[in-house]
Amino acid sequence: MYVIIAYDVNVDRVNKVKKFLRKHLNWIQNSLFEGELTQADLEEVKMGLREIINEEEDMVVIYRLRSADAMKREVLGMEKSSMDEII
């Protein structure tokens, strides 16, 4: 499946979340990652995120799509990561 993850976490935990997600997904921009994951990978990602975040303060939104074809991505402005690495 294809996964988009956007997070809004306390500044104390931002780098931890980013570092963790980098292992599993592609960085798109500040607080936004994407990538192909298996169901097992996703469970691992969710478990890891739950260990890092404070569920009373932080919020992580996970969008699951059947595949990358289910969406079209368009970027306005400057591409902060190289889209070549992503697609």
Contacts of 56 (CB under 8 A, 6+ apart): none
- In angstroms, what CA-CA distances link 72 with 20, 68, 69? 26, 8, 7
- 71 is an interface residue for a second copy by CB under 8 A: yes
Residues within window 12-31 making contact with a second copy, judged by CB under 8 A: 28-31
Q: How far is the CB of 34 from a second copy (least distance, A)?
A: 9
State the nearest-atom distance from the C-beta of 49 to a second copy, in Å. 6
Is 44 a binder of a second copy (CB under 8 A)?
no
